[in-house]
Amino acid sequence: MPGRKPYYLTTPIYYVNDKPHIGHAYTTLACDVLARFKRLDGFDVHFLTGTDEHGQKVEKSAQAAGIDPQSFTDEVSQNFRDLAKAMNFSNDDFIRTTEERHTRSCQALWREIETRGHIYLGSYAGWYSVRDEAFWSEDDLSTGPNGEKLAPTGAPVEWVEEPSYFFRLSAWEKPLLEYYERNPDCVAPASRRNEVISFVKSGLQDLSVSRTSFGWGIPVPGDPKHIMYVWLDALTNYITAVGYPDVSGAYARYWPADLHMVGKDILRFHAVYWPAFLMAAGLEPPKRVFAHGWWTNEGQKISKSLGNVIDPLRLIERYGLDQVRYFLLREVPFGNDGDFSHRAMVNRMNGELANDLGNLAQRVLSMIAKNCGAAVPRRGRLTDEDQALLDAAAAILPKARDLMDRQLFHEVLETVWQVVRAANGYVDRQAPWALRKTDPERMENVLYVLVEALRHIAILMQPVVPNSAARLLDQLGVSGDQRTFAHLTGANALSPGAPLPKPEGVFPRYVEAEEGAA
Per-residue pLDDT tens digits for 317-364: 999 999 999 999 998 888 788 788 899 999 999 999 999 999 999 999
What is the distance between the alpha carbons of residues 229 and 335, in angstroms, rounded to a whole number?
Answer: 28
Of 382 and 307, more confident: 382
For residue 303, the model assigns a pLDDT of 60
What are the Cα distances from residue 94, in Å, to 47, 82, 150, 242, 443? 9, 12, 34, 12, 51
- Does position 41 have pLDDT exceeding 80, yes or no? yes
- Does position 1 have pLDDT exceeding 60, yes or no? no
Average pLDDT over residues 269-286: 98
Which is it for strands 300-301 and 295-297: parallel, antiparallel or unpaired? antiparallel
Average pLDDT over residues 176-201: 97
For residue 329, the model assigns a pLDDT of 94
Beta strands in 119-268, from DSSP E residues, in sequence order: 119-129, 134-136, 142-143, 149-150, 158-167, 187-188, 207-208, 210-211, 219-220, 223-228, 259-263
Sequence-separated (6 or more) residues with CB below 8 Å from residue 338: 293, 294, 295, 296, 331, 332
Q: Give me the chain's average pLDDT, please.
A: 93
For residue 518, the model assigns a pLDDT of 36
Average pLDDT over residues 177-201: 96
For residue 332, the model assigns a pLDDT of 83
Lowest mean pLDDT among 93-107, 254-268, 503-517: 503-517
For residue 258, the model assigns a pLDDT of 98
Q: Which domains does the chain have, with CATH numbers?
A: 342-492 (1.10.730.10)
Return the top range by mean pLDDT from 263-267, 334-338, 371-375.
Answer: 371-375
For residue 133, the model assigns a pLDDT of 80
- Does position 434 have pLDDT exceeding 70, yes or no? yes
- Amino acid at position 98, single letter: T
For residue 2, the model assigns a pLDDT of 58
Dihedral sign from CA coordinates of 6, 11, 16, 19: negative
- Phi, psi (degrees; rounded to nearest 5) at 321: -65, -55
Burial of 437 (0-12, 13-18, 19+ CB in 10 A): exposed
For residue 514, the model assigns a pLDDT of 53
For residue 517, the model assigns a pLDDT of 41
Angle of CA points 73, 79, 84, to nearest 5°: 125
For residue 21, the model assigns a pLDDT of 80
Predicted confidence (pLDDT) per residue in 75-113, tens digit: 889 999 999 999 999 999 999 999 999 999 999 999 999
What is the distance between the alpha carbons of residues 291 and 302, in angstroms, rounded to a whole number?
Answer: 19
- Amino acid at position 54, single letter: H
For residue 515, the model assigns a pLDDT of 41
Average pLDDT over residues 136-162: 89
Q: How confident is the model at residue 300 (pLDDT cuts 50, 70, 90)?
A: low
Q: How confident is the model at residue 57 (pLDDT cuts 50, 70, 90)?
A: confident
